[in-house]
């Protein structure tokens, strides 16, 4: 046998020996079991690490959004981890996201977007605890919200919110988010405001006890205005003056819904229109 043939045989034997060391004999069940177990555990471990990394990455990239609509924040209750940036996004009208200076955790800064009519506002919550906030133009009619960072705590947990109604911190932590108009939490702190969530307030939320589920006081008054205008037309056969008054009412209601005038100004102008109607009818 030549030198090359000997080298080839030796090379094949060496290769077989290496393969035999790497893989257990087919007839050795114990070795096969241990080998399979090691492979399985390795795959599971790698998958767990990959899944954890993916979840952490997704959470880190997620930015919760609070919608600012016609006199409501949605969700009205939100729970986030410290370091989370929350985006307050304008959906309609002109609103603000303004923290109660005396209803945030000690050491935290009071955020304030100012009244905005378009775009959004972002704030990063660093200090754990409970944050209550409101809308400057619609505070008096109960446009309020609550954010729990980490776990509840701070002055907001000591007494009821002075305007409107918010879910309890326990419900917020338990659910993660509490939608505006949700009836899942009936034990929230209340201040007797008009913005209830299906309770005794005038506004019970978009899906709660409001008239037709309308989300704003402007919507309710708008519905009443339309009905009242229809009855007035039937009784007065749509005189030129009544047409003008109806148009003025609709314009007034639209300006109020957009946040261009506050509640006090809206009521004052509405009373003036009503007084004009009474003078004409008399």
Residue list for the binding site for Cu cation: 95, 135, 138, 143
Binding region: 95, 135, 138, 143
Other C-beta atoms closer than 10 Å to the C-beta of 282 total: 5
Residue 130 token pair:
């409970």
Q: Are 76 and 180 in contact (CB under 8 A)?
A: yes
Q: What angle do CA 216, 168, 113 make, to 5 degrees?
A: 55
**Rounded-to-integer distance, Cα 85 and Cα 131, Å:** 14
Close Cβ partners of 68 (under 8 Å, ≥ 6 residues apart): 88, 89, 90, 91, 92, 93, 95, 97, 135
| Distances in whole angstroms, Cα of residue 264 to Cα of each of 35, 44, 151, 211, 256 | 79, 64, 38, 22, 10
């Amino acid at each position: 046998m030549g030198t090359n043939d000997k080298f080839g045989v030796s090379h094949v034997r060496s290769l077989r020996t290496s393969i035999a060391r790497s893989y257990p004999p087919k007839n050795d069940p114990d070795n096969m079991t241990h080998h399979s177990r090691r492979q399985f555990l390795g795959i599971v471990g790698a998958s767990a690490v990959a899944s954890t990394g993916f979840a952490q990455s997704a959470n880190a990239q997620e930015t919760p959004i609070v919608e600012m609509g016609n006199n409501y924040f949605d969700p009205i209750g939100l729970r986030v981890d410290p370091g989370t940036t929350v985006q307050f996004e304008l959906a309609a009208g002109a609103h603000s996201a303004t923290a109660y200076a005396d209803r945030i955790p000690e050491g935290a800064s009071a955020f304030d977007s100012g009244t905005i009519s378009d775009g959004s506002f972002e704030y990063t919550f660093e200090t754990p605890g409970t944050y209550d906030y409101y809308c400057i133009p619609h505070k008096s009619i109960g446009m309020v919200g609550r954010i729990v960072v980490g776990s509840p705590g701070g002055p907001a947990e000591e007494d009821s919110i002075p305007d409107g109604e918010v879910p309890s911190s326990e419900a917020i932590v338990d659910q993660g988010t509490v939608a505006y108009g949700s009836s899942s939490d009936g034990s929230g702190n209340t201040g007797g405001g008009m913005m209830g969530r299906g309770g005794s307030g005038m506004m019970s939320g978009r899906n709660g006890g409001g008239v037709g589920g309308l989300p704003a006081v402007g919507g309710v008054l708008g519905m009443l205005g339309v009905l009242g205008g229809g009855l007035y037309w039937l009784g007065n056969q749509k005189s030129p003056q009544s047409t003008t008054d109806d148009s003025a009412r609709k314009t007034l209601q639209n300006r109020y819904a957009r946040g261009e005038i506050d509640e006090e100004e809206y009521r004052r102008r509405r009373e003036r229109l009503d007084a004009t109607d009474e003078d004409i009818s008399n």
